[in-house]
Amino acid sequence: MTFPPDLLPLLLRTSKLAALTGAGVSQESGLRTFRDAQSGLWAQYKPEDLASPQAFARDPKLVWDWYAWRREAVKAVRPNAGHYALVEIEKRIPQFTLITQNVDGLHRFAGSKNVLELHGNIQRVRCSECYTFAETWGDDSESVPKCEVCGGLLRPDVVWFGEALPRDSLEAAVEAARTCEVFFSVGTSGVVQPAASLAYAARNRGAVVVEINLEPTPLTPKADFFLQGKSGEILPALVKAVWG
């Protein structure tokens, strides 16, 4: 695989790199995107009907079952070469921050350490009332499990439509974007806010923006480098080309 000649020495001397990943990275592991998962029993529902505080208040069992099904789907997949390449990059860049819109936890599974999960993690479950995390819960087919602390209904620790992103994670992501020397945008459409604004925040502060995606996005005209293709192919090749 051939890369722009000025990209390789740039990465070799970079000490601060931030990377944003989106659904395209998980798709390469065989995990369907949020909207593509509306099939079978769930085809009759819109994602908004299953992923909002209003939906949970209206029919908590329906929402709980939907996420239980999705958790099982995540357990069936494994990180791909793109995930592992990001682990290798983290080992070589002194200050590396991985920001992800994905909730599947595959980056941590692969071995990434400094991960900011902007939209939460589907494998974590917390109380909808007191926010206490639950390590275990009973699977009663008739009802939603309840918090052992306050008795509130348990829910997935993900950001639903209409909910704010975790403040600490978002602030850390913005700081990483504003202070990095190079910003990677990988497998993301570049339209979901506020994550989509991070590449522009990095660019406005003088960072070099590298986009890796199957198709051009709204970010593409502003990126310094656009590497078109699968992240699972491009990232490992990039690691090999830069660091051997």
| Boundary-marking domain end, from 106, 136, 158 | 158
Task: Report pLDDT digits (tens) over 212-226.
Answer: 999 999 999 999 999
User: pLDDT value at position 15?
Assistant: 97
User: pLDDT value at position 124?
Assistant: 94
Counting the structural domains of the chain, the total is 2
Task: State how beta strands 133-134 and 154-158 pair.
Answer: unpaired
User: pLDDT value at position 171?
Assistant: 97
Residue 189 has a CB neighbour count (10 Å cut-off) of 18
Q: Which helix (H) or strand (E) holds 13?
A: none
Q: Which residues of 193-203 are buried (b: 16+ CB within 10 A; e: fewer)?
A: eebbebbebbb
Longest dimension (CA), the chain: 60
Active-site residue flag, 83: no
Q: Does residue 20 form part of some domain?
A: yes
Reply yes or no on whether the pLDDT at 238 is more than 80.
Answer: yes
Both tokens of 44, joined, read 């009759």
Same domain membership, residue 143 and residue 100 = no
Task: Report pLDDT digits (tens) over 187-211.
Answer: 998 888 888 899 999 999 999 999 9
Which one of the listed residues 119, 126, 155, 230 is annotated catalytic? 119
Both tokens of 25, joined, read 């990275």
**Where residue 98 sits, what CATH number does that domain have?**
3.40.50.1220
Return the HEC string of 122-185. EEEEEECCCCCEECCCCCCCCCCCECCCCCCEEEEEECCCCCCCCHHHHHHHHHHHHHCCEEEE
Same domain membership, residue 178 and residue 226 = yes
Containing domain of residue 27, as a range? 7-31+78-119+164-243
What share of the chain in percent tops pLDDT 90? 79
Same domain membership, residue 225 and residue 153 = no
Reply yes or no on whether the pLDDT at 39 is more than 80.
Answer: no
Same domain membership, residue 146 and residue 89 = no
Contacts of 205 (CB under 8 A, 6+ apart): 177, 178, 179
Q: Does residue 1 form part of some domain?
A: no
User: pLDDT value at position 38?
Assistant: 52
Residue 3 has a CB neighbour count (10 Å cut-off) of 15
| Boundary-marking domain end, from 104, 136, 158 | 158
Separation CA 64–CA 158 (nearest Å):
12
Peptide bond into 166 cis (omega under 30): no
User: pLDDT value at position 34?
Assistant: 62
